[in-house]
Amino acid sequence: MGYKITILTMVTLFLAACGSTPEQKGGVASTGGYLSGDGPGTDAPANIEAIPDAVPRNEPLHRYANRPYVALGKTYTPLTVVGDYKEQGIASWYGKKFHGQRTSSGETYDMYAMSAAHPTLPIPSYARVTNSANRKSVIVRINDRGPFLHDRVIDLSYTAAYKLGIISNGSGDVEVESLSADRTINIIPASTVQSQPLAAVPVGVAVQTDAPPVSTVSSETVDRGVYLQLGAFESQQNAETFLEKMRTELGAINKQLKLTSKDGLVRVHIGPYSNQNEARINSENLEEKLGFKPMLNLH
């Protein structure tokens, strides 16, 4: 092994550096933002949206992939601490051209997994990537190096880019935040939580979106009926933070935002609605505003 980087890793770094952006198409017309020979492939899973995000966990750092290295004439010094890094810039993605090849971690690249390549984040580690345009977020596992061209900050797997909505353009402005297993805000997208009747178990917070104060409620005052779920969290503190974010984004509407605890998760709900049809219509309206589609829940 070389003192900076192995030959295998250097090849992988070069491949990751060739990730997909419109700027690298050489002026050749294309229906997608990817290099000739690259792209989404023909064996994509039936429901890519349902592929779950990576779940941050503590993993030992790779023995070689976190050493200083040189790529395309520039020296990079990988970080060795997770959870203390944020940046904003352009994300791109890489697909079938590199599917099945080795990553910098020595693992096989799977374009349908929730992974990504980054120049300096620890390998392996985890990051939340948020599309600045539509505010959609995903959590990916960093297991590769790159990108190194056009001032891009991260190369996403096909699935991660698809879920963020940047496939067609080939790239997009994003925010990247390193995550550690003990401080992650685990938002479970509404589309991945199974809909089922929930017994309303109040956790001490309920808010009217058109009223400034946060009020506490007892089980006797909890509204029952048809609700939409905006998210689910492992901790109440994170759920309350997200609730306040939703309150700001939604503004003054004639519905209640509240927290409901079930199966070890604290869920952010909005409602009640007079019937399921009204809830579904409102779900579509909220999708346009929030960038994700809330899930129907019956209390």
For the chain, which domains are there? 7-179 (2.40.40.10), 190-298 (3.30.70.1070)
The pLDDT assigned to 36 comes to: 57
pLDDT band per the 50, 70, 90 thresholds, residue 185: very low
Average of pLDDT values for 104-112? 93
For residues 153 and 99, give the distance between their C-alpha atoms in angstroms, rounded to a whole number. 21
The two structure tokens encoding residue 217: 């409620």
Residue among 190, 174, 201 at smallest CA distance from 264? 201
Beta-bridged to residue 197, according to DSSP, are: none
pLDDT tens digits, 217-263: 333 333 358 888 888 777 888 888 888 888 888 887 788 888 988 77
Q: Of the ranges 63-72, 115-124, 127-136, 179-188, which one carries the lowest mean pLDDT score?
A: 179-188
Q: Are strands 74-76 and 69-71 parallel, antiparallel or unpaired?
A: antiparallel
Confidence check: pLDDT of 206 > 50: no
Higher pLDDT: 3 or 273? It is: 273
pLDDT bucket at 83, cuts 50 / 70 / 90: confident
Residue 117's pLDDT band (cuts 50, 70, 90): very high
pLDDT for residue 174: 94
Least confident of 25-39, 118-132, 174-188: 25-39
* pLDDT higher than 80, residue 134: yes
Residue 215's pLDDT is what? 31
Q: Which helix (H) or strand (E) holds 74?
A: strand 74-76
Residue 294 has pLDDT above 60, yes or no: yes
CB atoms within 10 A of CB 109: 23
Which of 105-109, 112-116, 197-201, 264-268 shows the lowest mean pLDDT across its residues? 197-201
Please, which pLDDT band fits residue 35 given cuts at 50, 70 and 90?
low
| Res 229: pLDDT | 86
- What pLDDT score was predicted for residue 68? 93
Mark 251-288 as b/e (b = at least 16 C-beta within 10 Å). eeeebbbbbbbbeebbbbbbbbbeeeeebbebbeebee
Q: What is the pLDDT of residue 141?
A: 97
> Which of 8-22, 40-54, 92-106, 114-128 has the highest average model confidence (pLDDT)?
114-128
Please say if the pLDDT value at position 89 is more than 50: yes
Segment 141-153 shows an average pLDDT of 88
- Helices 276-290 and 236-250: crossing angle, nearest 10°? 80
